[in-house]
Structures are given as C-alpha cells and as structure tokens.
Structure 1
C-alpha cells in the first residue's frame, strides 16, 4: 500500500494518491490531470476511484477530466447531487482498492455532502482518514460555504459537531489525519502549518475536539470571527457540482502567443483585463497602462479569484518567458478559463513597439517614517492587510483598507489625494497600487518591505481587538 500527499502550496491544498496491488484512488484532485496519471503510470497502476470529499469552493477539481481519461469512477458521499455521472456512496459503504478498503463516512457540517474516507489496510486495521474540509490540523472546516444551502451556518456547525463526535473522534488515536488544506487556506481560520498528524494528538490540541465541549460552545467557537469568504468560492463550488470545460482546451486557448498588435486588438475587441504576473521588483518600473499586477511568485490564484469578480472575464497576460503555462494553469485551478493569450516578448516587445508605459513610485520604510513624523496629519497611510492583521499591530494613524475588498470600498477613497500604501511585505500593496492606478488614482506610493520594515522604524505602533472600522 502506498499513500502520497500531493500538496500545492499556492492554494494550501492537499490531494492524495493511494495505491494497492495495481489499483489507485485519487482524492480531491486539482484541475490538471497529468500529475495523477503520471503517478499511476509509474506504479503500473490503474486509477479506479476519484474520491471527492465535497463540492470544493476554493478550487476547481479535476474529477471530470480525470474520469474521462482513465475511466475511473467519481465517488461522492451521501446527499451529493452532481450534474454528471458519479457514484453516490452510502454512509459506511466499503470500497475495495487492491488489497485495502476505503470506508465512506458521511461527515456533514462543512457542507451537507461532506464525507471523510477511512483507509483500512490488508488486515482491516484503520490506518488513516482523508478528512477533506471536515477536520484540519488544529482546526475544522468553516460552516458557511455550502452551495445553495437553506441552513444557517449555526445549523451546519451543529452537524459538524455531531460528525466529529460520532464519526471521527471514536477512531483510534494512532489513525493518521490527512486533511484537505493547510495554513493559508480560507477554508478554515486556525490551521497549522503542518499538513498531517495523528488523531490522538489532534484530540489533545485541536480546540474543536475537546471532549467536554458542548454543542453550543462548539457552534460559538467555530462561527466566531469568520472572515467573509472570497467572492469566487461559491462560483467554484457551482462549477464542481455542475461541470466545466476541459482543462486541455483552456490551456490550448490561453497558451496563444500574441504580437503587440494582436495583443492590443484582442484587448480592445474583447474588453479584456490585462494581468501582469512578473515579480514585484520589475513591475513598478515599467508596465502597460491600465494593467494590474498579480505576481505569480506568491498566492497568485487566490488573489485572481478574490479580485476579478467575473469568472467569464477575458484575460490577457504578461508573463516571464517560459512561465506562461504555469500562469494559465493556476488561473484555471480557480475557474478563470477565459485567457485569450499572452504578450509574446513581454514588456520588452511592448516598449520596442514604442507603446506607452507607466510606473509606480516606491519608497523605503525609513524614508516614509521621516515624512510621516514631519506631518502625520497630512500623510494618508493605507494598510491593505486583512482586518485581523491590522488589529494585531499597525502604525498609529494608518487606515485599514483590506485588499480583499478593494473593489467594494474604492469609492471611499479620494482620487485627488495622495496615498502611501503598505501590506506585510510589499506584494499586496503593489497589487492595490496597480488597481487604484488603473481606476484613475494618480498619486500612489508603495512602501517597500511593508509592515515588516515599518515596524523596525521609530513610528508608533498600536493594536486593538475591537472590530475595525473602514476609513
């Protein structure tokens, strides 16, 4: 028997490969199928099952393409109603995989169809659970992401409490927990950086698994402090439930190299959005007017999903040479399938064609500190970190303006004023500056190194835990 965790850091997502005696199962695959077919081919195994723990909200699963390519059966737990052929397993149903078995445990709560897959070895011993978004390391799944649920998040949290107490916690302490996500995912709020643990240890340290916790206490703990989920989450869940275009077709379309003239024409005709995916050092020096920066070398796909409201939005790309496929793939993972191509030759070709460019002014933290100390009342500092980060510690006098909600709250800013912008390290603030500049804001200064550098200056810092009021 072989178990392999296939972890994708930019999404903080874990898929799994299980193989026994020539048969394999894939749990919660990402959009692209080749990593899974390659693993099975290497082992000389046939993929028999594609096991989905639930209708995922934070990424588009590869179950449909993988099933078409391999003939594997897609399996969901009870109550799932997908718009395609799948086996809807009953609670407690046993699936044979080579010499091992997988038991389907219906564990509603994160969503009503959520299920956990219990792996038993050749001797029938419980070995591991693949818990999806039901149980994380040091956390549990949030109960507010169900597709078209008529239940409140409190109702779902109550179901989650019962699922954990009656299906998960009675299992042996040496059972290994393989969750669907790790730290950085918006599917929970307190996930650890570790991506596996024993159930026994989780019973000791996970706040949601404390044996004396009442259902009311659990519901309060799980629902308290939930940040609003990214806008693309419900849209991805619908795609996973209803179906989607083949990834190969999405990749073929998005991998089209465009000359400068073709790029400009596609931009005009399709009313496309231009996303510049270069690094945060290169972008501010020269970029295409009205393009926005979302660098590939960070949490690229989640930020595309958070900031681009329409999954149908035509997109044109500016990428570092050789990384075009990576960019298109990562966008497709979160349902952005309408990439029209990329600018061949990048910004160099654009400038060689005598096309205009713009830049964003940047400033060191030390220099900003001197300016702020001289005239704090007249210096507008936008902190685009999340509310929880701002509440933990921030520069006294800063305005919290989370990047997550920039499209919703942009009207609160004044285009005639100058803004200094920072985040934690400089990535999110540059995204914010690029969006604001594309929307007509003229005077924007990005603070290099963000709060990581600002906190080392003489600027006064403060913190509070009350709800943050925008502007």
Structure 2
C-alpha cells in the first residue's frame, strides 16, 4: 500500500496522502492546500475524503479549504462537534478510497474526539495506522490541552482515557503495522518524541515508555504528566478555529499582501497599534531594525515561536521581510492562525534605511569576547534556553529565563547594568533581545553562536542546576 508522508519541518508536522484507483484521501492537512491538490492531480485522482484525527491545537488545518476546492468530505471521529458540514464517524466505520479501506478506531485521550485510522490495502490486509496525536514515535500525545477549551476535562481524566485507548485499541493490533503519527521531534504536542517519523507498532511496544505492558494506569498517568511544560498560548485559539471554522487562506493572503511605502508603513504602525514583526535573520536584524519591531526569523521554527511570543492570534501585524519573502511569512503565520497581517514594508528594511529613517541595533559579541567579558565580570549573563537545556549544562552564574516566559519575568532584567543574552545557537536570544529593546532596555549584547560557541571556550560551565535559576 502506498502511503506518502508530507512533512513540514518548522511545525514538525506530518500529513498523509493515499491514492487508489483514481480516488485519494488526505489526513491532517496544513492550511495551504495547493500542494495536496497538485499531488492528487499528478495521479489524475479526485480527493474524496479529508480525515481529521482530532481538532488540532498547534496548527490550523486545511480541511475546510480542501472541502471548498475539491468537494471532499471532511471526516472526524466519534464525539466531534464541528461547526460546519462534516461526517462524524462511528467507531469501526469503514470508508472506501478506491480499492483501499480506512477504518475508524476511536482513541480518546489526547482529546475526546481523537481517532486513529487503520489503513487497509487492496487485498484486505491491514497496513498501518494514522495515529494523529494519540501515538507518536517514542511518545504519546499530551493530555492537558483539551482542558484549556473544556474546563472539566482534566489532564488526569484524559490521561486515563489515553491509557485505555492505547491498551484496548492500539496495543492489541499487529506488530507489523506501520505507525504514521501527526508529529515528530520538536513539536509541543508531546515531550520526548523521536526524530524518526514512522516505525512499526511492534518496535514501539518494545521502546515507547507509554506502551510498557506491565504499566498500571496510575503509573501511566503519573509518568505522562511528569515534566509537561505549559503549552503555547495560541493552542486553545487554534483549537477553536478548527472547531468553529475560519476564513479561507485566499482571503487572508489577499488582505495581507499589501505593500506599504515607508511613510504608509510608519502611519499604519502609529494608527493601528499593529505589531511590527521583522522576519530577517539574527545577523541582519542586529545591524539595524525599525524601532519597536521584534525579530522572529523565518529560517528557524518561525510559526512555533510566533505562537509562543504573540499572545493573541487576532493581533494585527505589520511585516518586515527580505524582499520577496513576504508571501512565505504570511503563509507560515496563517498556519498557526495569525490571519491579521495588514501589510508589509515594501522593499524591506533597506527602503527604511534609504529614507534615512531612525533605526535601532543590537550589539553582538563572539565566544572569545564573551569569555573575556565573563572573566572581567563585566555583565550579567542570561540564558534563554529551555530549563531542561540549562540544567544539562550552562555557564556558571548564568540566570535562566526561558524565552517563552520572558514577558512574565521582565523585572528580572536590570536596566542599569549591561546584559549578555545567549541561547543554544543565537536564534532565540535575538528574539529576546528584540523584545527587551522594544520594552526599553539598552545595554544588551547578544552572543553569536550561543552556547554551542561558548562551549568551545574555557568559560566555566556546570552540569548542575545553578542557584541563580529563576524558573
């Protein structure tokens, strides 16, 4: 059976495509649907179904636009209550796609409507399971997201449901089945996913901590809930968009692709209260940027960090990109529901500087300069990596404020002393630098290459949690 995984690295997201005898189906598509339609066109196939494993939290699905463009029927598992036309399937229901079959297996736990789809080939042989966020490679879905939408669905209740789903619905299946999850390493929908994006169910039974045969429900719940970090604030907002519906991507793109002259851009920023988002890389941003803009570079996990750092998906946004990159930025923002881009600076930052407009910059130092500054005790060192990264190894005396919590801990950063910021490689620390600059901090220096570069120097480092850890 031919199953094509369509993987998008910046969201660690996997959609799936199957085709048989002129009929096709898509599982958990992203919002930009043209690639899926083009894929079906190459096979001279009609997309018959769009299967959704659950109401996603970390991205806005493309199911509605696929339905609009292709006439495909949207399918959810039992108990789903979408605010638009869709099939809410019964447990065990079978859908025909050409000579293939797709069987519904209701697996509540990550969310109550979470569903696994069994793929059955033209010979009637069970081939694999599209598991959504129920089962990952090396992990299972976190059970604490639905409670942000429905309060009485506690994480303990959902974890219990997930235990039952895995034991009663997934683990009895054949070891030969291929597991096709919705996410890989880097997604915030789990805590310890493998870099591998498929595996056999048999191997997962041997290696996945959550599938240990001798684990009690109490042990499962405790282990699953231990170490969960706070989910990004945009997650419940995306869930509601996926439940209730949303504007078509074409409408969003048409509104956002509005080139603004320097004067028009400045006026829009002053009049609308829009957030100015600069998507250039850290090096170029540091040399010069529009005052009060923040930096989240397109070359990194852009959509994820936008979701982490911009609290509301309804926030109006003005874009500053490299010329020609505005459409990519708008598309990647829309993947996580940030649909209110109202325009972009025509010509990019160069047009701003060409007009002799005022701009800001961020000082940077390399690892050798950092070592000298550290030895001379010239600045406070702030490490904006995750707590787990910090705990594994860090500069002695550094203060840990994870980037996604910086807005709640601004008071920890003195304004009357020099500050040095670093992350692992320089991407996150420039985001942090831009936020502090926007909020009035001036004595900031960013470390080029981050901790990876610092690790090559003689700066004292500790493998134990430092008492100056704040979070």
TM-score, normalized by length of structure 2? 0.97
1:447–1:196 Cα change, 3 Å: same
Match of 2:117 in 1: 117
Instruction: Please tell me whether residue 34 in structure 1 is matched to residue 34 in structure 2.
Output: yes
Deviation at 1:417, TM superposition (A): 2.4
Q: In 1, are the aligned partners of 2:397 and 2:468 still within 8 Å (CA)?
A: no
Aligned with 2:172: secondary structure?
coil
* Contact persistence 1:391–1:468 (CA under 8 A): no
**1:160-213: per-residue Cα shift (whole Å, max 9, x none)?**
111111111111111000000000000001101110011111111111111111
Q: Which residue of 1 aligns with 2:247?
A: 245
Instruction: Tell me what 1:218 maps to.
Output: 220
**SS of alignment partner, residue 290 of structure 2:** coil
Q: 1:7–1:14: 8 Å Cα contact kept in structure 2? A: yes
Of residues 362, 371, 374 in structure 1, which corresponds to 2:364? 362
- 1:226-375 pair list within 5 angstroms: 226-375=228-377
Corresponding residue number in structure 2 for 1:56:
56
Distance 1:416 1:80 in 2: 54
- The answer on whether the counterparts of 2:99 and 2:122 sit within 8 Å (CA) in structure 1 is yes
The answer to whether the 8 A contact 1:154-1:219 is kept is yes
Displacement of 1:218? 0.9
d(CA) in 1 for partners of 2:418, 2:266: 31
Q: Residues 52 and 74 of structure 1 are in contact (CA less than 8 Å); yes or no, is this contact kept in structure 2?
A: yes
Q: Is contact 2:390–2:465 with CA below 8 Å preserved after alignment?
A: no
CA-to-aligned-CA distance 1:360-413 (integer Å, 9 cap, x gap): 0000111111221222xx631000001111111111100001101111211332
Distance 1:465 1:175, change over 3 A: farther
In 1, the alpha carbon distance for the partners of 2:98 and 2:84 equals 26
Deviation of 1:465 (Å): 6.1
- Encode CA deviations 1:132-160: one digit per residue, 9 max, x unaligned: 00000011000001131412211111111
Say if 2:204 and 2:211, in contact at 8 Å, map to a contact too: yes
Partner of 2:91: 91
Instruction: Tell me the number of residue pairs that the alignment of Structure 1 and Structure 2 aligns.
Output: 469
The aligned runs of 1:168-207 (5 Å cut-off) are 168-207=170-209
| CA drift at 1:467 | 10
Match of 1:455 in 2: 455
Q: Is the 8 A contact 2:399 2:469 kept in 1?
A: no
Cα gap change, 1:205 to 1:419, in 2 (>3 Å): same
Distance 1:149 1:46 in 2: 40
Name the counterpart of 1:46.
Answer: 46
- 1:33 and 1:149 map into 2 onto residues whose CA distance is 33
Equivalent in the alignment of 1:18: 18
Shift of 1:68: 1.1
1:219 to partner: Cα distance: 0.9
Q: Does 1:418 align with 2:418?
A: yes
C-alpha separation between the residues in 2 aligned to 1:467 and 1:441?
Answer: 25
State how far apart, in whole Å, the 1-side matches of 2:269 and 2:77 are: 44
Q: Deviations 1:78-123 (Å, cap 9, x if unpaired)? A: 1111111111001111111111110000000101110000001112
Alignment CA distance shift 1:124-1:142 (3 Å): same
3-state SS in 2 of match to 1:135 = coil
CA distance in 2, matches of 1:160, 1:382: 39
Contact 2:119 2:129 survives alignment (8 Å)? yes
SS in 2 for 1:134: coil
Instruction: Measure, in 1, the Cα distance between the counterparts of 2:367 and 2:272.
Output: 40
Q: Specify the SS of the correspondent of 2:54.
A: coil
Instruction: Supply the distance in 2 between the matched residues of 1:358 and 1:342 (Cα, whole angstroms).
Output: 19
**Aligned residue for 2:432?**
432
Per-residue CA deviation, residues 422-443 of structure 1 (Å, 9 max, x unaligned), is 0000010011001100100010
Tell me the distance in 1 between the aligned counterparts of 2:352 and 2:379: 35
User: 1:142 maps to which residue?
Assistant: 142
Q: Is the 8 A contact 2:396 2:466 kept in 1?
A: no
Per the TM alignment, residue 469 of structure 1 is displaced from its structure 2 partner at its CA by 4.4
What CA deviation, in whole Å up to 9, does each residue of 1:323-379 have, x standing for no partner? 11110000000000000111111111111111111110000111111221222xx63
Give the match's secondary structure for 2:385: coil
Ranges in structure 1 where 5+ consecutive residues have no aligned partner: none
User: Which runs of no fewer than 5 residues in structure 2 stay unpaired?
Assistant: none
Compared CA separation, residues 462 and 205, structure 1 to 2 (3 A):
same
Distance 2:16 2:343 in 1: 32
Contact in 1 for aligned 2:397/2:466 (Cα 8 Å): no
